[in-house]
Structure 1
Amino acid sequence: MYDLVIVGAGSGGYEGALYAHRRGMKVALVELSPETVGGNCLNRGCIPSKYMRHGAYMLDKFQKLPEYGIFLKGYDLNMQRLKKGREKVVLTIRENFKKFAEHLKIPIFYGKGVLKDANTVVVGPEGIELKAKYILLATGSSTASVGDLVPDGRYIFDTDQIWSLEDFPKRILILGGGAVGVEFAYIFRMYGSEVVLVELKDRLLPSADIPEESSRYLARKLKKIGVDIRLKTTLKGWEVAGSQVKAFLSDDSEVQADLILLGVGRKPNTEGIGLEQLGIEKDSKGFVKVNQFCQTNIPNIYACGDITSPLMLAHKSMYEAKVAISHILGDKDTVRNERLVPKIIYSAYEIASVGLTEDQAEEEGYEVKVGVVSFVPNPKAMDDGENEGFVRLVASEDGKILGCHILGPHAGELLHQVLHLMKADLGVDFLSKAMYSHPSLSESIVQAGMEVHFGPITWAKRH
């Protein structure tokens, strides 16, 4: 009998296993195979894509080397060497986790985990039965297809298959201008591919959680590096044309490309794991219904990550696993709060958001005060040759920080400073008195706090 059995050893599952062990629980993991430990993020998602994005970023920086007195004589691109480096990182992380789990005596049972009853998980195909006081479901998500666009790994690729490419495509059509689409558009463009990026909505990153200003900045930069962006456009049909694909778009244009990449979302892995037999409630889209403690309608069964909501982020899964385990151990203070989940997009810029946008705050009835500080005059950003973008701080009239949106260098790292202020309920008055090192990118955050707390400096009275 285990204290906790976790179904799924992806981001949420392995973080949950380590946290449960740390808290003194006897825990076991169930995962499909030794090759899938680490889940989608490690094996087919954020880790390999960030490796490639860093290569694209270095190519971007390479073009600025003459400004630093460095003149190199060109470069060659090699997909095989890129794949080798990328796969080495993925394999190292995966194997290190398996070794660490073994060292901690956390067993991993390989096979599909299915709920038999509220205290039993059956692991196929051998039918091993694991008994537990509590169960945490962390089964993740799978790629979603659109219409008759069935990924075949030849002409139509999804984000699970794109890693099999043996060479850089000469031309690629990417469907979807969300986080996945804009990241791969930047990667392939910087690695020399012609890129056509198609988005149904009227802007890139068409999420209410991302300010329109961020979308506008990104679109401008992607166009500048040569990405062909088609907004308010869909794919009407396609056909094979020799060794290529001919796509027919709703703007009456035709695009010939080596392949089409689907960047159009994912679906929760909640089918075939025994939820229906136990009566565990799901919503109309297949997500498991959970309360603020990640608890399902069966009190000793919890769920975390991609199966709890459309906000499919590895760190959300990791945090929710800790919320669930904390609640199991009697903690009522640690709760899930999607408003405080940081959202980071890696494309031609890093784009980071947490909390409310200005529009969302006004819709909720706040009298909004906004502090915006540009990276253009920031000395550290100028030294680094990356003085583009901004920090946008959204606050209520009484100084409560409601949200923060950063576009520019290392935005994903900078955002956490504001996230922790929000969680601790420390407002702009506290932020405006903080001391930051100089020169630093972080100075822009305290300046944004002062813009809100004291008012924009350009409005200061002249005496």
Structure 2
Amino acid sequence: MTTADPVLACDLAVIGSGPGGYRAAVLGALRGLSVVIIEKADWGGCCLNRGCVPKKDWYHTARLMAAQAHFAGRGLDGPLRADLGRAWAHQRRVVDGIRTRYLDYLHHLKVTRLDGHARFLDPQHLSVAHPDRPAQRVRADHVIIATGGQAQIPAPFKAIPGKVLTTDMLFDAPPPPGERVAVIGSGVVATEFAYIFSQLGRQVTWLARSPMLRRLPLSRPARDALTQALARQGLHLRSGIGFEAITVTDDDVRLHLTGDETLAVDWVCLGTGRRPHTEGLALEQAGIRTDDRGFIRRNGQLQTDVPHIYAIGDVACEWMTANHALAEATTVIGHIRDGQARHLDPLRVPMVVYSALELARLGMDETMAEDTGHEPAVGFAAFATSPSALGQDDTEGFVRLIADMDTGALLGGEILGAQAGELIHLLSLAPDRDTALAWIARGVFNHPSRTEEILNAAETLAGKWGLGDRVFGP
């Protein structure tokens, strides 16, 4: 590269095309910025190719399998049989179709796409290397780093195609043969795949060092309900497990556990977390630092040590969800375009678990509320009496709202049951948490629908804790 090489100049360069990077590129273009987006691997990143989208496709299939327990009572005869290989092919078709539309929309918005590996030359310039053509130099007034994360593989495991798979590898090739699968891990991904595999015809052994969903601030009722729903599907997490070694043969994979116990399975799926992906970016050339866990350092406006360079999503956010990446992209574009110094509270971003029961939450739980000086009030409504849920033969779960007893501000919420991931958005739409319950109470709802239970929970909370004037108005 010489100073005579052509330079592509733009208002905004986005490194990474996952949900955060894609959202930033689209919103930036819609707000009038000239945008370059750079991707070194598969367009759409992990979320589209190996994460949220294909997993949600499988989850829908798993829920259809679970629903057949009620088929006879609805006048439907005949059992369903799951085929994991064909389910894999279905998600691949879905992913390919989404990617095509994704790229078409970037083209429509006149976003410049560059295939290749980006690295910083200095705070203003990037070099994008591609094995089949000369490197492209990019000069950007603003840069967003959205390079995501990669699978964390703890000792003594190592990735072995067909035998020991990370969840990234799971979608790169059709699933291995064999019905005995060990799912390792206790976080969101492991909790989801243990359920999905069990419904798609696999015999699941679920092992982890830590208790289920330890890092998520869940209420005891939610945690207990999910544990019981998993147990009804024959799924029990064995936590507190130590892994001494693994032995891989042509016939099986043997897990050697502490206490001289050995388990034999056909293959292993590692749901053991992710780590930020920053390799090869040459962050030091731009003066950008990472913390002791590898996350890029940033301030409340998501700026790195260099004010015109931002970091969003898994590369900088410890929650490592697509929802956080999308919300952060919106925050950053607002700051770049209009100077909006909006602070994004990561707890106010919905977090969803797709398992034997769908579980969604945002905001504080009671302990957090008390620790920050609030006196929490709880409003509750169960789907057991919902006409919509009764008509669907799917009445498990509830809505649980947490408010401040003095002000009526909505501090947090938890929804457990079918469509929880869709319903949770109603808790985030009000302009602020002080008026959120009033927005819900004054809303107009379809009947019968599950959303009515959010209204019921808000009304119950107001009546029980003397917050009627604040929620319903004087």
Q: Output the amino acid matched with 1:49.
A: K
> What runs of 5+ residues in structure 1 fail to find an aligned partner?
458-463
Matches within 5 A, 1:14-413: 14-33=22-41, 36-72=42-78, 74-125=79-130, 126-163=134-171, 164-166=173-175, 169-201=178-210, 203-240=211-248, 243-250=251-258, 253-398=261-406, 399-413=408-422
Deviation at 1:276, TM superposition (A): 1.6
CA 1:7–1:427 in 2, change beyond 3 Å: closer, same or farther? closer
CA displacement 1:275-314 (0-9 Å, x = unmatched): 1222212211111112222211211111111111211111
Structure 2 counterpart of 1:379, which letter? P
SS of alignment partner, residue 285 of structure 1: coil
Aligned-residue offset at 1:417: 0.6
**Shift of residue 101 of structure 1?**
1.7
Judge which range, 136-145 or 190-199, deviates more.
190-199
Amino acid aligned to 1:159: T
Q: Secondary structure at the match of 1:160?
A: helix
Deviation at 1:325, TM superposition (A): 1.7
Letter in 2 for 1:103: H
Give the structure 1 partner of residue 456 of structure 2.
447
**Counterparts of 1:380 and 1:251 in 2: how far apart (Å)?**
49
With normalisation by structure 2, the TM-score equals: 0.91
Letter in 1 for 2:51: G
Structure 2 residue corresponding to 1:438, chosen from 447, 455, 463? 447
Measured in 2, the distance between the counterparts of 1:250 and 1:162 equals 27
Q: Secondary structure at the match of 1:362?
A: helix
TM-score if structure 1 supplies the norm length? Answer: 0.93
Closer/same/farther in 2, CA of residues 118 and 402 from structure 1, 3 Å limit: same
Q: Deviations over 1:209-259 (max 9, x none)?
A: 222332221121111111242122232322235511121334654321111
- 100-109 or 427-436, larger mean C-alpha shift: 427-436
Residues of 2 paired with 1:245 and 1:30: CA distance? Answer: 39
Write out per-residue CA displacement over residues 332-352 of structure 1, whole angstroms, 9 at most, x where no aligned residue: 253322021100110111100
8 Å contact kept, 2:82–2:199: no
Change (3 A) 1:168 1:70: farther
Closer, same or farther: CA 368–328 of 1 in aligned 2, 3 Å: same
1:154 Cα offset (Å): 2.7
CA contact 1:281–1:289 (8 Å) conserved in 2: yes
Q: Which moved more, 1:330-339 or 1:258-267?
A: 330-339
Aligned to 2:17: 9
How far apart are the structure 1 equivalents of 2:177 and 2:66? Answer: 17
1:461 corresponds in structure 2 to: none
Paired with 2:347 and 2:84, the residues of 1 have a C-alpha distance of: 39
Task: Tell me the secondary structure at the aligned position of residue 417 of structure 1.
Answer: helix
Of 434-443 and 338-347, more deviation after overlay is shown by: 434-443
Task: Tell me if the contact between 2:30 and 2:109 (Cα under 8 Å) persists in the aligned partners.
Answer: no
**Structure 2 gap segments, 5+ residues each:** 1-8, 467-474
Helix, strand or coil at the partner of 1:87: helix
Take 1:251 and 1:370, find their aligned partners in 2: how far apart are those partners? 44
The residue identity in structure 2 corresponding to 1:71 is D
Instruction: Determine the C-alpha separation between the residues in 2 that align with 1:32 and 1:444.
Output: 45
Q: Aligned-pair distance for 1:104?
A: 2.5
Letter in 2 for 1:23: R
The 2-side partners of 1:254 and 1:94 are apart by 42
| Maintained 8 Å contact 2:129/2:135 | yes
Are the equivalent residues in 2 in contact too, given 1:222–1:348 (CA < 8 A)? yes
| Match runs of 1:408-427 below 5 Å | 408-421=417-430, 423=432, 425-427=434-436
**Conserved? CA contact 2:119–2:128, under 8 Å:** yes
Asked if the contact 2:180/2:265 (under 8 Å) is kept, the reply is yes
Question: RMSD between aligned alpha carbons?
Answer: 1.9
* Distance apart, 1:70 and its partner CA: 1.2
Equivalent residues, number: 453
Q: Which amino acid aligns with 1:183?
A: E
